[in-house]
A and B are shown apart, each in its own frame.
Chain A
Amino acid sequence: MKKILFSILVFVSLSLQAEMVDTYQFKNVEDRTRAVALAKSLRCPQCQNQNLVESNSPIAYDLRIEVYKMVDEGKSNQQIVEVMTSRFGNFVLYKPPFELTTALLWCLPIGLLLLAVLLMVRYLRRRSENREICTALSERQRRELAELLAKNKGKK
């Protein structure tokens, strides 16, 4: 019984997540959703592996409030992201823009996939070629086969 109760608790706790709540007054619910989503998409410059909403650091708090303010002022997501990158560089973005320095990052998965497909096609083509050669009997093989069959018939 205890075990069951425990596993239920574990299961329930998996779906629970604490989230930073700031007492910021938004004009409407849409603004709040947009602001929080945007803050979540930006990386905290100090803690590196947390976004602005997850991090407790004072700088993340300030930046979060800054994002909220800008949303409240009616700035678009792109404008806000531009303000952030003008200060902290592309570092704050989880999804870096396509540039010369990030080309490898963007192209590698596609490149590897193409390479894999290419290798696969080559392999399959070669295999089917081989099979054709195998199934078609040469003149000599056919003669030998006929002889063998004839011998077999004679035995019976």
Chain B
Amino acid sequence: MKRKVFLFLPLIVLLVICIFLIMGLKQDPKKIASALIGKPVPEFFQADLLDNNRIISNKHLPKQPYLLNVWGSWCYYCQQEHPLLMELAEQRIPIVGLNYRDKKQGALEMLAKKGNPFALVIDDSRGELAMKLGVDGAPETYVIDENGVIRYRYSGAVDKTILQKEILPEFNKLRN
């Protein structure tokens, strides 16, 4: 009996490895948790998209839990999730926009046409803050607490399900 088990050992090991590999394949590489979770928003001094003469820094960020949305007018999925952001803004959830690698004119046009859900829009046309944040593409949505500490990141377009299942629970945890 013992010998038989030993005989099948390579097969068992191989199967276990296969299970791990298949698990790895099913993992969405876009969902790697941010390395900045639990860390404060990096220090920055950048222009306000709506008023380029004004410099925004960490001081200007909301003093309550808020969402940070990385977007660009060039980005198809950002346009898709935009109505959802508008809804959130109507519910008085503060959203800070990070206009990522965008042309100013295009960004302003999109806000004028589709509405501006953002309490504050940071002009990040050169991707400086995005680089410090570890952004790997737009859209991305962060949940940040009242002390400016990043608590959660979602990489990709937010839809209703993700909002209800992932983002709002994280956000409400901070509000209570």
Q: How far is the CB of A115 from chain B (nearest CB, A)?
A: 7
Q: Which of A48, A59, A63, A85 counts the most chain B CB atoms within 10 A?
A: A59
Interface residues of A in 24-55 (CB under 8 A from B): 45-46, 48
The answer, among B10, B35, B131, for a CB contact under 8 Å with A89, is: B35
Q: Which residues of A contact B126 (CB under 8 A)?
A: 62
> How many residues does chain B have at the interface if contact means C-beta atoms less than 8 Å apart?
23
Q: Say yes or no: is B101 at the interface (Cβ < 8 Å to chain A).
A: yes
> How many residues does chain A have at the interface if contact means C-beta atoms less than 8 Å apart?
20
Q: Say yes or no: is A98 at the interface (Cβ < 8 Å to chain B).
A: no
Interface of A is mostly: helix
Q: Which residues of A contact B9 (CB under 8 A)?
A: 115, 119
Contact with A along B2-42 (1 / 0, CB 8 A): 00001001100100010010000000010011111001000
Which positions in A face B, CB cutoff 8 Å?
45-46, 48, 58-59, 62-63, 66, 85-89, 91, 104, 108, 112, 115, 119, 122
Q: A48-B29, A62-B126 are in contact. List 19 more A-B contacts (CB 8 A).
A: A58-B101, A59-B127, A59-B136, A59-B137, A62-B127, A63-B131, A66-B131, A86-B35, A87-B36, A87-B132, A88-B134, A88-B136, A89-B33, A89-B35, A89-B134, A91-B32, A112-B13, A115-B9, A119-B6
The 6 closest A-B pairs by CB, nearest first: A89-B35, A87-B134, A45-B136, A88-B134, A46-B136, A91-B32
Which positions in B face A, CB cutoff 8 Å?
6, 9-10, 13, 17, 20, 29, 32-36, 39, 101, 126-127, 131-137
